[in-house]
Structure 1
Amino acid sequence: MRWLLVLLMSATFATAEGERPGDFDYYVLSLSWSPSWCAREGDARGAEQCEDDTGFGWILHGLWPQKERGWPSFCRSDFRAPSRGETAAMADIMGSGGLAWHQWKKHGTCSGLSPQDYYRLAREAYDRVNRPEVLRALTKPYRLPVTVIEGAFLQSNPDWQADMITITCKQERIQEARLCLTRDLEPRDCGRDVVRDCTLDRALFDPIR
């Protein structure tokens, strides 16, 4: 019985829904490698961002309010939901308006900001990152150590330290680069439940379409 109680407490501590907006410690800026998502899911869905010559590389997955341990989600916001036009306006860096809507609903509501201010802040955070150009130059799939991706980001952003960024994988592909930021969008060390790099030595990295 005791182990079950610990398990339930851990699950509740990791993520909590319906919390008070604005109650968090820092942000996680999540950048998704679009070609990997397309290969895993997007092609099967017929997603527009996966069409040839779209040129999507590191797109904005989201700007996530984070606590030192755990994170809030689906908070009860007093702000009116974003319009279809406002979500569509984020497609140039997020790949689709649908993703922008989902990110507001799950994460943006916990920021304490209006949808307009949340999207503005997310775009500013995205624009502050130097995304490695060398990765866009690849013309065919490669299998490589995940440390190569992390190293490319650190070289392109000299002010960052290794504990400020995490590279994730999914289905043996490079999935995301996650950077931890203060509420003022300054890089900072990630919390213990965020700083978990993928450890694959031969992760698949798909080229830009």
Structure 2
Amino acid sequence: MRLLWLVIAAICLGPILLNSPARADGEKAGDFDYYVMSLGWSSNWCALEGDTRRDPQCDAGRGFTWTLHGLWPQYESGYPSYCRTVQNDPNRSDSAQMADIMGGAGLAFYQWKKHGRCSGLSAKSYYTTMRKAYKTVVIPPIFAKITKDLSVPAAVIEDAFAEANPDIDRDQMTVTCHQGMIQELRICLTKDLEARRCGADTIKDCTLKDAGLEAVR
């Protein structure tokens, strides 16, 4: 954490400066080995996608830091998607209630369609499980203090989460980048939402020396 403070302090006081392969769609619901929980840095998502869509998540003053991008059923190698299920899709109200941790209802519904159907859970139970998984991780408070755009090694992000979450080992999380920016922190969890070692195809840390981390909006 001291390293993160030093990087942020040095930059803020000066001038502002992976995906593992899917299998064929339509696998049987509930057939998977573990979960990957993905947390995305909201401001970077806005810069890359959300601003173009004029997404309300990106409005000034929202204060989002690490939002829940998804909870993905995973095989030891690869992952299922768009599974066959007898469960009904969530209603608009249930999806809207996920906006406080996901940034919006649209993402919640998309995650259900692509990944939630593979969990074997009902839509309501899947949303509940996503929220429970999100609450298992402590978001380091330092991230809410980022008021200027930074350029940091991906390892600094992992260091901060490792210090705030001593029960999560380094091989149980990974940081990804996209277009020169920090994209996601991914944490591997058992079906009981306990941290576990990530599969070999999931551990693909960002190798950039420095990656962009835009200021909290």
TM range (shorter): over 0.9
Q: Is the 8 A contact 1:140 1:206 kept in 2?
A: yes
User: Which deviations, in whole Å up to 9, do the C-alpha atoms of 1:133-175 show, x marking residues without a partner?
Assistant: 1122111011111100000000000011111001000110000
SS at match of 2:187: strand
Aligned to 2:24: 16
Q: CA deviation at 1:15?
A: 2.4
SS at match of 1:190: coil
AA at the equivalent of 2:169:
Q
**Residue 111 of structure 1 pairs with residue 119 of structure 2:** yes
Match runs of 1:57-72 below 5 Å: 57-72=65-80
SS at match of 2:121: coil
Structure 1 segments of 4+ aligned residues over 2 angstroms from their partners: none
TM-score by length of 2: 0.89
Q: Equivalent of 2:87, from 79, 87, 96?
A: 79
Q: Cα RMSD between the aligned structures?
A: 1.1
CA distance in 2, matches of 1:131, 1:15: 32
Give unmatched runs, 5+ long, in structure 1: 1-10
User: Which deviations, in whole Å up to 9, do the C-alpha atoms of 1:70-120 show, x marking residues without a partner?
Assistant: 100000110111001111110111111000000000000000000000000
CA distance in 2, matches of 1:206, 1:15: 34
Aligned to 2:57: 49
Q: Is the 8 A contact 1:16 1:71 kept in 2?
A: no
CA distance in 2, matches of 1:205, 1:82: 33
Aligned to 2:7: none
Aligned to 1:35: 43
Q: Is the 8 A contact 2:40 2:66 kept in 1?
A: yes
CA distance in 1, matches of 2:202, 2:28: 21
Q: Is the 8 A contact 2:175 2:185 kept in 1?
A: yes
Q: Is the 8 A contact 2:63 2:144 kept in 1?
A: no
CA distance in 2, matches of 1:29, 1:62: 6
TM-score by length of 1: 0.93
Q: CA deviation at 1:202?
A: 1.1
AA at the equivalent of 2:98:
M
CA distance in 1, matches of 2:182, 2:211: 6
Aligned to 2:151: 143
Query: How many pairs were matched up?
Result: 198
**Residue 99 of structure 1 pairs with residue 107 of structure 2:** yes
Q: Is the 8 A contact 1:59 1:95 kept in 2?
A: yes
Q: Is the 8 A contact 2:38 2:187 kept in 1?
A: yes
Identity score, percent: 54
Match runs of 1:125-164 below 5 Å: 125-164=133-172
CA distance in 1, matches of 2:127, 2:49: 25
